[in-house]
Amino acid sequence: MNTPRPLRILHCFRSPVGGIFRHVRDLAEEHSKAGHDVGILCDSSTGGEHEDRLFDDIRPYLSLGLTRMPIQRSVSPADFGALWEGYKTVKSLRPDVLHGHGAKGGLLARVIGSALRVNRYRVARLYTPHGGSLHFSPTMPQGKLVLFLERLQEHFTDALIFICDFERQTYERKVGIPKAKTRLIYNGINERDFRPIPTRSDSVHFVYIGMLRDLKGPDLFVDAFAKTERRVGRPLSALMIGDGPDRDKYRTMMVERGLGHRIGILPAMRIDEAFAMSQNVVVPSRAESMPYIVLEALAASKAVIASRVGGIPEALGLESPALAEPDNADDLARVMAEAVVTPRWGDRVMPPTESIKSVFSAPVMARDVLKLYYEILGIRGDA
């Protein structure tokens, strides 16, 4: 078969933090190394010094450049301005593929891609939810609006990519059976991520790494930590590493409960530095899709204690003893206590590294996504 021509790929998303940003960085790197031109369009008002360093890392792979502009989180009239500015930028870049990530990224990619098609410009329009709008309740007014918009945008979608089976099932339940082409392509991490990271001599018993907002459960982490101390009958130590809108609220919560000296808070940092702080990584989220923190922790030979939400059981195992009931600090504390009192708990409970590597691989993820791009564009060859 003939080798197909290189593609011009533009990824659109709102906030350059967390799993979506990691997902796009991995795709950009893999596709750039394969000879394709890649660019990013995202929000200019979120992220900090840590994200700036991550952008510096990925910039050499962005031959189509990095475009940042204001993109609001909520649905608002400001979206019209973002769509117009985005349209002008995208048109100038002449992409073959517009890949939207998250609700706002999906809106930009599909509406702008459809506007280009009106002008007889051929572009593939793809959407990966990454949870996002699927976290909304279909019984609440805002949820009804958001999920209605998801259904409406299917008319402007060439393909939906789900990053775990839970996300696919949730979409079908809340939005409906997709009318567009779909693929299940798991999040993947790179070969370089699969290396044990030893803990520092001053490590703590537990670490929370991620956004400091209620959806991710930092308050559950604090509550469960206090309950874990009571279960084991001695003081313990923990760290919360990350940034977010509710940072001060959690700090106040810890001080009021007398935990200010046993739970510390540090700003976001590189993941290998964060993993060196503890052997036990706690993921107490109230809702997730397929969080990278779980995959990265397993690849670093860390013990993961997590809520049974989203695609996490697909990584840890459906019946894993490391899973706690969602939004349940008592059950989370039960698992945390087992982790600190049971010798080599993580070695016994965590899935084998090779099984994670065989399923959650960034090169496989990038290859399968690229095949879908070519399929939509009708370009044949050995992708």
Instruction: Identify whether 338 is part of a domain.
Output: yes
Q: Give dist(CA 268, CA 371) in Å, integer.
A: 34
Q: How confident is residue 12, by pLDDT bands cut at 50, 70 and 90?
A: very high
Of 79-83, 208-212, 285-289, give the lowest mean pLDDT range.
79-83
Q: Does one domain contain both 55 and 180?
A: yes
Give the mean model confidence (pLDDT) for residues 320-337.
98
Residues 6 or more apart whose Cβ sits within 8 Å of residue 207: 238, 239, 240, 241, 274, 275, 277, 278, 280, 281, 282
Number of domains in the chain: 2
* Same domain membership, residue 244 and residue 177: no
Tell me the pLDDT tens digit for each residue of 85-137: 999 999 999 999 999 999 999 999 999 999 998 877 889 999 999 988 898 89
Residue 233 is assigned to a structural domain of this protein: yes
Separation between Cα atoms, residue 117 and residue 111, nearest integer Å: 10
The answer on 140 and 77 residing in a single domain is: yes
pLDDT of residue 327: 97
106 and 237 inside one domain: no
Residue 344 placed within a domain: yes
CATH code, 48: 3.40.50.2000
C-alpha distance from residue 314 to each of 79, 217, 308, 310 (Å): 35, 20, 10, 9
What are the φ/ψ torsions at residue 369 (nearest 5 degrees)? Answer: -65, -40
Which pLDDT score is estimated for 1? 46
Domain extent at residue 66: 8-188+361-377
CB atoms within 10 A of CB 83: 16
Same domain for 86 and 33, yes or no, is yes
Q: C-alpha angle 41/135/317, rounded to 5°? A: 100
Supply the pLDDT for residue 380: 77
81 lies in the same domain as 117: yes
**43, 71 Cβ separation under 8 angstroms:** yes
Sheet arrangement for strand 280-283: 263-266, 238-241, 206-209, 280-283, 303-307, 323-324
The pLDDT of residue 188 is above 60: yes
Residues 12 and 135 in one domain: yes
DSSP-based three-state secondary structure for 38: strand
> Is the Cα torsion angle 305, 310, 316, 320 positive or negative in sign?
positive
Terminal-to-terminal C-alpha distance of the chain:
10
Residues 109 and 155 in one domain: yes
Pairing verdict, β 65-69 and 206-209: unpaired
Return the pLDDT at 263: 97
Listed residue (311, 303, 317) closest to 285, CA to CA: 311
Are 242 and 293 members of one domain?
yes
- 328 lies in the same domain as 230: yes
The pTM (predicted TM-score) of the whole model is 0.86
